[in-house]
């Protein structure tokens, strides 16, 4: 059982908070998979293996009996799963505003109590509190879980993620789907959010507006390997780095590309529209694709 030493919040840096241009922010904001792994580790350190003396689960999930032990805390893509020893699993999805905090005994909460969706207090006084998560539910068994999470692609944050499966799943998409949209689709693979989307395309030198049909098998394999490498390199590091000391193109519009000096571009992409950043020199459009941006 990990000892509860480091107790922190999820941190706002976990989210894509680029300019919204008047569009409802939450649809543009999703935590990246590495943030959820970080949250799972903190919650695990605080309550895993312990008997819960207080279990409160709000928002249509019903309550749960105190006295249940937390068997395991894990991240599954952007979902955080808390497995109890009675076979049930609590699933939360944080989206933009949600966050898991952990507290030592008697500590003051960082957000007001009425915003708590889940409160799990262990018999030694350590508490994990989930604030403002829009998705909270108690899954009764593995069948419930398969129904809820079965569509998800391989979880890129896991060392055993099946990257060949990710490559295969690209082939299930409408061939006209643009790469930037495909990478965010959690049915292809779990863990890529808006930050990694642009950074992966840059690393692979592929224009994010390229239709999947124009991306060959070798490039698909490279995209999968790069996505997994970048996400895993940032597990537990605190500060996300995808290129040199920061990001190559993400939120660097109108600044020089770190590789070639060309001005980085940004354009909104997909439905809902998300900011996509790329270098038009390093990530050129294909010759007969004059209708794409860049």
List 217, 260, 263, 286, residue binding Zn ion (CB under 5 A) = 260
Closest to Zn ion by CB, 149 or 203: 203
> Smallest distance from the beta carbon of 42 to Zn ion, in angstroms?
37
| Least distance between Zn ion and beta carbon 205 (Å) | 9
Q: Is 280 in the site for Zn ion (CB under 5 A)?
A: no
Asked if residue 281 binds Zn ion (CB under 5 A), the reply is yes
**CA torsion angle for 37, 76, 96, 46 (degrees, to 10)?**
-50
Q: Is 72 in the site for Zn ion (CB under 5 A)?
A: no
Question: Least distance to Zn ion from the beta carbon of 219, Å?
Answer: 18
Tokens of 41: 């580790």
Binding residue for Zn ion (CB under 5 A) from 50, 259, 267, 268? 259
Nearer to Zn ion, 95 or 205 (CB): 205
- Put the strands of the sheet holding 70-76 in their side by side order: 70-76, 79-84, 89-93, 135-139
Our separate counts of H helices and E strands in the chain read 6, 10
Q: Which is nearer to Zn ion, 2 or 256 (CB)?
A: 256
Instruction: Determine if 282 is a binding residue for Zn ion (CB under 5 A).
Output: yes
Q: Specify whether the CB–CB gap between 294 and 207 falls below 8 A.
A: yes
Number of residues engaging Zn ion in binding (CB under 5 A) = 7
Residue with smaller CB distance to Zn ion, 132 or 281? 281
Which region among 28-36, 177-185, 210-218, 254-262 touches Zn ion (by CB under 5 A)? 254-262
Q: Per rule CB under 5 A, is residue 263 in the interface with Zn ion?
A: no
Assess contact for 177 and 216: CB atoms under 8 A: no
Closer to Zn ion by Cβ: residue 137 or 281: 281
257 is an interface residue for Zn ion by CB under 5 A? yes
User: How far apart (Å, rounded) are the C-alpha atoms in residues 15 and 68?
Assistant: 32
Q: Which of 36, 120, 167, 279 binds Zn ion (CB under 5 A)?
A: 279
Rounded least distance, CB 64 to Zn ion, Å: 52
Q: Which residues are catalytic?
A: 31-32, 78
Q: Cβ of residue 262: shortest distance to Zn ion, in angstroms?
A: 5
Torsion of CA 165, 36, 274, 210, to 10 degrees: -20
Q: Quick check: bond before 206 cis, omega within 30?
A: no
Give me the residue label for tokens 């590495």.
34
Using the rule CB under 5 A, is 13 a contact of Zn ion? no
Phi/psi class of residue 244: alpha, beta or left (left: φ > 0; alpha: ψ in -120 to 50)? left
- For position 264 contacting Zn ion by CB under 5 A, the verdict is no
Contact map string, positions 208 to 247, toward Zn ion, x by CB under 5 A: ----------------------------------------
The nearest distance, CB 257 to Zn ion, in angstroms, is: 3
Which DSSP helix (H) or strand (E) runs through 138? strand 135-139
Q: Does 107 bind Zn ion (CB under 5 A)?
A: no
Contact call for residues 56 and 14 (beta carbons, < 8 A) = no
How far apart CA 244 and CA 203 sit, in angstroms, is: 12
Listing DSSP states for 10-56 in one string gives --GGGS-----TTS-GGGG----HHHHHHHHHHHHHHHTTPBEEEEE
Cβ neighbours, 10 Å, residue 271: 7
Interface residue list for Zn ion (CB under 5 A): 257, 259-260, 262, 279, 281-282
């Amino acid at each position: 059982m990990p000892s509860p030493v480091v107790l922190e919040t999820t941190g706002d840096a976990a989210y894509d908070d680029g300019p919204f241009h008047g569009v409802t922010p939450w649809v543009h904001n999703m935590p990246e998979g590495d943030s959820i792994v970080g949250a799972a580790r903190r919650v695990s350190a605080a309550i895993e293996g312990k008997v819960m003396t207080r279990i409160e689960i709000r928002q249509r999930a019903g309550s749960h009996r105190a006295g249940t032990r937390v068997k395991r805390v894990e991240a599954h893509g952007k979902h955080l799963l808390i497995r109890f020893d009675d076979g049930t699993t609590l699933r939360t999805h944080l989206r933009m505003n949600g966050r898991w905090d952990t507290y030592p005994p008697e500590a003051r909460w960082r957000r007001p109590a009425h915003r708590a969706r889940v409160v799990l207090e262990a018999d030694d006084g350590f508490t994990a509190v989930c604030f403002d998560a829009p998705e909270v539910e108690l899954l009764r068994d593995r069948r419930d879980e398969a129904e809820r999470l079965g569509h998800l692609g391989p979880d890129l944050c896991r060392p055993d993620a099946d990257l060949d499966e990710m490559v295969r799943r690209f082939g299930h998409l409408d061939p006209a789907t643009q790469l930037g949209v495909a990478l965010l689709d959690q049915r292809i693979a779990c863990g890529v959010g808006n930050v990694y989307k642009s950074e992966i395309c840059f690393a692979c030198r592929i224009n994010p507006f390229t239709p999947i049909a124009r991306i060959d098998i070798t490039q698909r394999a490279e995209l999968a390997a790069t996505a997994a490498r970048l996400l895993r390199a940032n597990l537990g590091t605190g500060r996300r780095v995808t290129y040199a000391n920061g990001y190559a193109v993400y939120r660097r519009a109108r600044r020089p590309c770190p590789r070639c000096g060309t001005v980085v571009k940004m354009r909104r992409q997909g439905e809902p529209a998300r900011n996509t950043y790329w270098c038009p020199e390093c990530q050129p459009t294909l010759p007969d694709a004059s209708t794409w941006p860049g």
